[in-house]
Amino acid sequence: MKKGLITGINGQDGSYLAELLLEKGYEVHGLVRRSSTETFERINHITDRIKLHQADLNDLSSITEVVREVRPTEIYNLAAQSFVPTSWKQPLLTGDITAMGVTRMLEAVRQTDAKGIKFYQASSSEMFGKVQETPQREETPFYPRSPYGVAKAYGHFITVNYRESYQMFCVSGILFNHESERRGKEFVTRKVTDAVARIKTGKQKELRIGNMDAKRDWGFAGDYVRAMWLMLQQDTPDDFVVASGETHTVKELIEIAFDHVGLDWKKFVVQDPAFMRPAEVDLLLGDPSKASRILGWKPELDFPGLVKRMVDFDLKRQGGA
Ligand code: NAP
Ligand code: G4F
């Protein structure tokens, strides 16, 4: 039986990936950090079918112990400080978890079973930052624009370096933005769909938002975790861009979400400088052709379908559907 260990199992992607691995018959283990209030909201429905281990990406001995105890066949390193604005407020913490945490995980693998464990690193389109070409491909040079993007670029290259230095099976998935009803409410898609539901049900008056001209290549998280799994099923380790191949503005996102519940967004949306960033990533558009050709991956849910799914979920939560 294959054994998967997921760091960040309690996050958006971790929860979808755990479901996918269970479906495929894996023994699923998850690494979670200690918190004074244990909230496993995204994985509550599967906690009886997975095994959780307490460790922290900032603590090498705790993660090495988990890797030694579980001896997984595959590790998916999804844990990170993943919210871009927080990375300006807490740049060192972001570097410790999102950059050095990757080296700690790789060291735990190297010291336990360098040849027997396949390793997936959750890299990000934020590494392209001030984009050097459009669409962005595996070979596009990185120009990160936030401490988060810089940390992810480190995580990407250390993964490539362990592959080349120790012939370990390490891959990096350069994933573009992917969303769902499990997305944290601080990210723009969920912030918008949650606000639409609350406005529609009379619980909120307005939506305060930052840069509406920013463009993102958005997809559905459930589709993207399939690509992670496919990368670890290949004979040779390689890196892949995973994207929808379409880009949309934040304004388009807002329009679709409000329109879906029959509201005119212009009456409710207020631009607020508090949500502008010190340096912005203006445009992300990925070229997923390598993933399509080699992995046979393609997304199933399109952008309008994703936004409507999220609005419907939030509306139901607010008792409005
Ligand atoms: P997420 O919802 O923020 O989940 C991140 C997870 O990491 C959480 O479960 C968090 O634990 C855990 N974590 C944070 N610090 C930790 C530490 N020191 N030790 C152990 N665990 C820690 O992120 P996501 O959207 O699922 O993304 C998954 C990964 O893909 C992240 O690495 C992210 O940077 C990357 N990525 C995401 C996207 C996207 O669009 N979603 C795109 C490209 C790359 P708590 O639950 O305790 O906070
Ligand atoms: O939803 P966001 O916060 O996501 P961002 O910064 O693109 O990062 C996400 O995707 C990355 C992949 O490219 C991941 F690596 C990362 O972990 C994370 O999952 O912001 C998207 C865009 C930005 O341009 C931002 O300036 O939306 C713009 N925006 C406008 N108003 C806003 C807001 N973003 C947020 N969070 N809140 C606003 O009010």
- Largest Cα–Cα distance of the chain, in whole Å? 58
Task: Pick the ligand that lies closest to the CA of residue 175.
Answer: 1
Is 165 one of the annotated active-site residues of the chain? no
Q: Give the Cα separation of 140 and 135 in Å (integer).
A: 9
Mutate which of 54, 67, 82, 102 for ligand 1 pocket (most atoms within 8 A of beta carbon): 82
- Report the distance separating Cα 109 and Cα 13, nearest Å: 22
15 is catalytic: no
pLDDT tens figures, 167-189: 999 999 999 999 999 999 999 99
Fold (topology level) of 184-217+246-282+301-317: UDP-galactose 4-epimerase; domain 1 (3.90.25)
Starting from the CA of residue 251, give the closest ligand: 2
Which tens digits make up the pLDDT trace of 236-260? 999 999 999 999 999 999 999 999 9
Taking CA atoms, 92 is separated from 123, 192, 211, in Å, by 19, 29, 26
Q: How remote is the CA of residue 282 from the centroid of ligand 1, in Å?
A: 23
CB-based contact 254:192 (threshold 8 Å): yes
Q: Strand, helix or coil at 51?
A: strand
Q: What's the pLDDT band for 320 if we cut at 50, 70, 90? A: confident
Position 321 pLDDT exceeds 80: no
Domains of the chain by residue range = 3-178+220-242, 184-217+246-282+301-317
Residue 280 pLDDT? 98
- According to DSSP, the β-strands at 3-7 and 74-77 are parallel
Residue-wise pLDDT for 216-232, tens only, equals: 999 999 999 999 999 99
Q: Tell me: the pLDDT tens digits for 262-303?
A: 999 999 999 999 999 999 999 999 999 999 999 999 999 999
Residues in the chain: 321
pTM of the model: 0.98
Residue 186 in tokens: 């601080």
pLDDT band with cut points at 50, 70 and 90 for residue 38? confident
Q: Are 182 and 144 within 8 A, CB to CB?
A: no
64 CA to centre of ligand 2 in angstroms: 32
Q: Which atom of ligand 1 is the closest one to the Cα of 221?
A: 41
CB-based contacts of 183, cutoff 8 Å, min separation 6: 12, 189, 190, 221, 310
In CATH terms, are 3-178+220-242 and 184-217+246-282+301-317 the same topology? Answer: no
Q: Output the DSSP codes for 184-207.
A: -TTSHHHHHHHHHHHHHTTS-S-E
Distance, in Å, from the CA atom of 163 to the CA atom of 183, rounded to the nearest integer, reads 31
pLDDT in tens, 50-104: 999 999 999 999 999 999 999 999 999 999 999 999 999 999 999 999 999 999 9
The tens digit of pLDDT for each residue in 111-137 reads 999 999 999 999 999 999 999 999 999
Name residues whose C-beta falls within 8 Å of residue 40's C-beta, 6 or more positions apart in sequence.
Answer: 10, 32, 47, 52
Domain 3-178+220-242: CATH class, spelled out: alpha beta
Catalytic residue, candidates 15, 87, 123, 124: 124
